Amino acid sequence: AGIPVYLGVDVGTSGARALAIDTAGTVRGSAHIALPAPTCTDNGGQQQAPELWWRALLAVLRQLADALPPALEPKALALDGTSGTLLLTDRNGYPLHPALLYADRRAAAQARRIAAVAPAQSGAHGATSALAKLLWLREQGLAHAAHALHQSDWLLGRLGAPWGVSDENNALKLGYDPVARAWPQWLGELDVPPDMLPQVYEPGTPVGLLNGELAAHLGLPDSLTLVAGTTDSVAAFIATGARTPGDGVTSLGSTLALKLVSSRPVFAPEMGIYSHRLGHLWLAGGASNTGGAVLRAHFSDAEIARFSLAIDPHAPTGLDYYPLSRPGERFPVADPDLPPRLTPRPADRKTFFQALLEGIAAVEKLGYARLGEAGADTLQSVRSVGGGAVNTAWTTLRAHTLGVPMSPATHSAAAYGAAVLARQRSDETAHQILERDNREQ
Ligand code: ADP
How do residues 7-19 score in pLDDT, each as one tens digit? 999 998 889 999 9
Mean pLDDT of 172-187: 97
In 3D, which of 427, 425, 414, 410 has the Cα closest to residue 25? 410
Tell me, what amino acid is at 163?
W
Coil, strand or helix at 165:
strand
Residue 13 pLDDT: 83
| Closest protein CA for atom 13 of ligand 1 | 292
In 3D, which of 43, 58, 146, 55 has the Cα closest to residue 94? 146
Using the predicted structure, report yes or no on whether residue 431 has a pLDDT greater than 60. no
Query: Mutate which of 10, 289, 296, 394 to test ligand 1's pocket (most atoms within 8 Å of Cβ)?
Result: 296
Residue 240 pLDDT: 98
- Nearest atom within ligand 1 for CA of residue 255: 3
Give the model's confidence band at 162: pLDDT under 50 very low, under 70 low, under 90 confident, else very high.
very high
| Ligand 1 contact, 304 CB (< 6 A) | yes
Q: Tally helices (H) and strands (E) across the chain.
A: 12, 19
Strand partners, 424: none
Contacts of 125 (CB under 8 A, 6+ apart): 111, 114, 115, 118, 269
Residue 383 pLDDT: 98
Give the pLDDT confidence of 46-88 residue by residue, as tens digits: 999 999 999 999 999 999 999 999 999 999 999 999 999 999 9
Query: Mutate which of 102, 233, 251, 254 to test ligand 1's pocket (most atoms within 8 Å of Cβ)?
Result: 254
Q: Go through the domains of the chain in sequence order and give each one's CATH number.
A: 3-234+415-440 (3.30.420.40), 244-409 (3.30.420.40)
Cα–Cα distance for residue pair 22/25, rounded to 1 Å: 5
Phi first, then psi, for residue 348 (nearest 5°) are: -100, 145
Phi first, then psi, for residue 277 (nearest 5°) are: -85, 135
Tell me how far apart the terminal alpha carbons of the chain are, to the nearest angstrom.
32
Is the link from the previous residue into 269 a cis peptide, with omega within 30 of 0? no
| Ligand 1 contact, 305 CB (< 6 A) | yes
Cα–Cα distance for residue pair 172/278, rounded to 1 Å: 12
Give the pLDDT confidence of 196-229 residue by residue, as tens digits: 999 999 999 999 999 999 999 999 999 899 999 9
- Nearest atom within ligand 1 for CA of residue 299: 16
Residue 80 near residue 10 (C-beta atoms within 8 A): yes
CA 102 – ligand 1 centroid, Å: 21
Q: What are the Cα distances from residue 335, in Å, to 183, 257, 286, 287?
A: 32, 17, 14, 13
Give the pLDDT confidence of 342-388 residue by residue, as tens digits: 999 999 999 999 999 999 999 999 999 999 999 999 999 999 999 99
Using the predicted structure, report yes or no on whether residue 326 has a pLDDT greater than 70. yes
Query: Mutate which of 102, 252, 350 to test ligand 1's pocket (most atoms within 8 Å of Cβ)?
Result: 252
| Closest protein CA for atom 2 of ligand 1 | 253
Residue 440 pLDDT: 60
Count the neighbouring beta carbons within 10 Å of the beta carbon of residue 195.
9
Give the pLDDT confidence of 232-271 residue by residue, as tens digits: 999 999 999 999 999 999 999 999 999 999 999 999 999 9
| Ligand 1 contact, 241 CB (< 6 A) | no
Query: Mutate which of 258, 391, 392 to test ligand 1's pocket (most atoms within 8 Å of Cβ)?
Result: 391
- Nearest atom within ligand 1 for CA of residue 386: 6
Phi-psi map region of 169: left, alpha, beta (phi>0 left; psi -120 to 50 alpha): alpha
DSSP conformation class of 268: B
